[in-house]
């Protein structure tokens, strides 16, 4: 089991939380954000999370959620890039297959963590099989990106896997590179929005406003 360097974890946490905060704030901003304002928002989030100790929002977020997963960070980067290109944005939810996969995986991991399954699934993310799993997942993501199938999500996951493989970030556990409580919650909201879209009524539009990321 190889763990990341403490300094790299510290830098990653501050930078990742800054990107997540910037994406969240940009998504709930009610008006159109020009590029200069978007850049200013990102810079302000970076400056805030760089503050020492409890002055930093990253410190409080870390107490509640530990580290953002590499996948969540990559999706936030993609959302900010999309807003930068369009200088606007519409509400987005996760694609249904990815949302379902994350929701099921997260549920199993949390049930295991609470001792209701006791299968040791989370701790397997530290084991030698995690490296092989990361390689196989990275190959699948690269293939999907080349074929243009869910390219944004595939590239975000590939970046998370590379970050885990090269620097063991964020925690040295493969599951932490691909999932965290915020991303799990986003997947559940996405599934709920998809379920409402399938209903004959038009209530799906109201639910999509709860999506935590806009592109």
Question: Tens of pLDDT along the chain (215 residues)?
Answer: 678 999 999 999 999 999 999 999 998 887 788 999 999 999 999 999 999 999 999 999 999 999 999 999 999 999 999 889 875 554 567 889 999 999 999 999 999 888 888 888 999 999 889 999 999 999 999 999 999 888 999 999 999 999 999 999 999 999 999 999 999 999 999 999 989 888 875 454 544 554 455 44
Predicted TM-score (pTM) of this structure: 0.88
CB atoms within 10 A of CB 35: 12
What is the predicted pLDDT for the residue at 204?
A: 44
Bridge partner residues of 91 (DSSP): 214
What is the predicted pLDDT for the residue at 87?
A: 57
Quote the tokens at residue 97.
């297959």
Residues 71, 75: Cα–Cα separation, whole Å: 6
- Phi and psi for 183 in degrees, rounded to 5? -65, -40
User: Tokens 């995690």 identify what position?
Assistant: 130
Whole-Å CA distances, 181 to 132, 140, 155, 203: 25, 24, 21, 26
Residues 106, 84: Cα–Cα separation, whole Å: 31
**First vs last C-alpha separation in the chain:** 37
What is the predicted pLDDT for the residue at 198?
A: 86
């Amino acid at each position: 089991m190889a763990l990341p360097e403490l300094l790299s974890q510290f830098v990653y946490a501050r930078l990742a939380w800054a990107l997540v905060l910037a994406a969240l704030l940009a998504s709930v901003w009610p008006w159109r954000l020009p590029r200069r304002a978007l850049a200013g928002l990102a810079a302000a989030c970076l400056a805030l999370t760089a503050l020492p100790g409890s002055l930093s929002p990253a410190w409080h977020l870390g107490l509640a959620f530990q580290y953002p997963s590499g996948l969540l960070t990559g999706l936030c980067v993609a959302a900010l890039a999309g807003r930068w290109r369009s200088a606007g944005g519409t509400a987005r939810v996760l694609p249904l297959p990815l949302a379902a996969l994350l929701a099921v995986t997260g549920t199993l991991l949390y049930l295991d963590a609470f001792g209701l399954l006791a299968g040791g699934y989370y701790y397997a993310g530290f084991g030698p099989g995690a490296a092989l799993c990361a390689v196989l997942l990275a190959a699948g993501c690269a293939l999907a990106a080349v074929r243009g199938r869910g390219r944004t999500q595939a590239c975000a996951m590939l970046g998370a896997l590379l970050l885990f493989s090269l620097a063991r970030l964020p925690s040295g556990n493969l599951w932490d590179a691909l999932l965290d409580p915020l991303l799990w919650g986003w997947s559940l909201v996405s599934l709920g929005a998809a379920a409402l879209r399938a209903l004959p009524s038009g209530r799906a539009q109201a639910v999509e406003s709860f999506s935590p990321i806009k592109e």
